[in-house]
Structure 1
């Protein structure tokens, strides 16, 4: 029987970062993957989405100058854009495979099944691992309704080489609103059907309302408090019906109702490892009931955001555990960004949480209006600071095309406990949107 110090089930960000650390420390490492090397984010998730998003972001920003410097149309050629995306992402698995070889990882393509506390069965061979790390992520949920075979998911959408004209997107979460932001700029007919009464429920609803209103101005139709009952194939596409009697004939139906952890058929039940659609239960060291079986990434049942950077953090943490670190995991503030147009961002304590805590101070700042020359005419840009009783920044929520850079700056300030005096003793580039925000933050923190 082959033996390894660590077996990683999955080859995405929840796995290979920690595997690299262990290999560099002299450990023997095996990675097992049944799909493409690199997992969802690398091949048909985050990377593909941001590659397609680029020209839409440029178009969205340029529209702020319509009538004050911008003339003519900015045309997006979707087939060319998709070909560009494919040219960038298609080589990723081969590149990662080569990287694994250079790092001297053993790598096996196949389905894994746990057969014991230290053993994994793959392609008919049982292999021993002193430590086993499960990092097999999650997949798109699929509604259990008549006609579910006609539903598409985000992976399908991100591989569309020819765009249909009429969309139904089921669910008003991140995926639907990000894709709708792109399709609206192309003039497509978009309907979003949401079971509840609001979109992006986890984010500051004042900012969500701005994005929803902007999408509605572009023709996107929201149908709240509606549950999809069935999808039928008709002569010119698909007929989507809801339980409340709404009927929409469209060309494409996207099921964006959430994600479920990949916990089936990997031997968890036979070993008594607790798991559900939310993920695998772990302790504060990311261990299952067995001290040498760890879990990393989106397949964990957890309350912190299921994001690529979180998976990387967990993968590195597990490597540290195997190398002798005994400390329980402690997550820093985790920035969370929705790639709508404009973006919505959040890090640390939310506005909703702050409203329930009288010791926290909520300070909104409409910097888009206050510093128009620095925001490039983005009038609706706004950030809300959340300060504790010591005037330390503990949270921030914002809406802005420049949310990524601002959010990362806020994350740094929160995690490093930078004070208002600290900010006042620093010099930042001017003019620029981060300068405007940091100047205001430094003032309110004093």
Structure 2
């Protein structure tokens, strides 16, 4: 383990690794070009995570554009346009991913692609209709995750085998930052819900204060309800068990379940999932 590490970028991989190596005793600096971390996640909980990491010793440098990394013996110097200079044992470049479309002969065979990846239609076919694509290399808005790649591959297999001829229909897709603690999200965001108060109710559920969540009194959940149907249409969870809990809420969101539907079921007691399912009541924060 290096004594010091600089992460260039404050995205998913950066904060996941920073959460771990700070606990292993390394000095950690995170340099980010923009003014925020984890831009795709709800910023209320991202700020809570950043504050926790700062309290543990992580130094964040926002609005800093790195312009050079120089090797000096066994160490490195990272400099930014502002004059920021960081000496470190290890530099981790995590500024994002690019679709690996080069060197595949796509131009020669006539497969269309963009900077975002390979272009596909609603059946995941390329411009050559007998060539399908799945996974991160697709130019798409759907989150580029292992589960979505698996879903796409299974869909393509069904197309090829003649078991399905319908356009692909993505279900609700959860995504998780495996930071310490975790942040998990699905569906409509709190920001989108608050922007349309006539249509949505946004409720904050501090479930960590009332239930056994491994001594996490800061664990919290924000739920977005559709007023007309009382269905849960989005959720963000902050806490160590967020990944497991978001998988439960994936069923609730994707299947359009209401509090009345959930009240007709019996869940295992006294697990924390039992508690949060009982809290999904649009008429009261605690259900």
In proportion to residue count, which structure has more helix?
A: 1
Q: TM-score range by the shorter chain?
A: over 0.9
What secondary structure does 1:294 align onto? coil
1:78-102 Cα shifts (integer Å, max 9, x gaps) = xxxxxxxxxxxxxxxxxxxxxxxxx
What secondary structure does 2:132 align onto? strand
Deviation at 1:444? 4.0
Counterpart position of 2:79: 241
Deviation at 1:364? 1.1
Counterpart position of 2:127: 289
Matches within 5 A, 1:268-417: 268-324=106-162, 325-358=164-197, 359-369=199-209, 371-372=210-211, 374-388=212-226, 389-417=228-256
The range that moved more, 248-257 or 432-441, is 432-441
* Alpha-carbon distance change, 352 to 271 in structure 1, aligned in 2, over 3 angstroms: farther
Partner Cα separation in structure 1 for residue 255 and residue 248 of structure 2: 11
* Alpha-carbon distance change, 291 to 357 in structure 1, aligned in 2, over 3 angstroms: farther
Report if the CA contact (8 A) 2:71-2:77 is conserved.
yes
Report if the CA contact (8 A) 2:119-2:139 is conserved.
yes
When normalised by structure 1's length, the TM-score is 0.61
Partner Cα separation in structure 1 for residue 157 and residue 127 of structure 2: 18
Matches within 5 A, 1:423-434: 423-434=262-273
- Unaligned 5+ segments in structure 2 are none
The range that moved more, 270-279 or 286-295, is 270-279
Deviation at 1:419? 1.9
1:177-210 Cα shifts (integer Å, max 9, x gaps) = 0000001112210000000000001111110011
When normalised by structure 2's length, the TM-score is 0.95
The range that moved more, 280-289 or 270-279, is 270-279
* Residue 60 of structure 2 is aligned to residue 219 of structure 1: no
Report if the CA contact (8 A) 1:191-1:222 is conserved.
yes
Asked which structure has the greater CA Rg, the reply is 1
Counterpart position of 2:274: 435
Report if the CA contact (8 A) 2:201-2:282 is conserved.
no
* Alpha-carbon distance change, 320 to 236 in structure 1, aligned in 2, over 3 angstroms: closer
Partner Cα separation in structure 2 for residue 211 and residue 291 of structure 1: 45
Report if the CA contact (8 A) 2:230-2:282 is conserved.
no
Report if the CA contact (8 A) 1:393-1:414 is conserved.
yes
Partner Cα separation in structure 1 for residue 283 and residue 235 of structure 2: 13
Partner Cα separation in structure 1 for residue 151 and residue 73 of structure 2: 49
What secondary structure does 1:428 align onto? coil
Deviation at 1:376? 2.8
What secondary structure does 2:243 align onto? helix
Deviation at 1:352? 2.3
Partner Cα separation in structure 1 for residue 89 and residue 148 of structure 2: 36
Count of matched residue pairs: 282
Report if the CA contact (8 A) 1:423-1:442 is conserved.
no
Partner Cα separation in structure 2 for residue 355 and residue 225 of structure 1: 27
Counterpart position of 2:22: 184
Partner Cα separation in structure 2 for residue 258 and residue 361 of structure 1: 34
Report if the CA contact (8 A) 1:279-1:301 is conserved.
yes
Q: Which has the higher contact order (CA 8 A, sep 6+)?
A: 1
From 13, 22, 28, the equivalent of 1:175 is 13
- Unaligned 5+ segments in structure 1 are 1-162
Partner Cα separation in structure 2 for residue 245 and residue 430 of structure 1: 56
Report if the CA contact (8 A) 2:70-2:78 is conserved.
yes
Cα RMSD (Å): 1.4
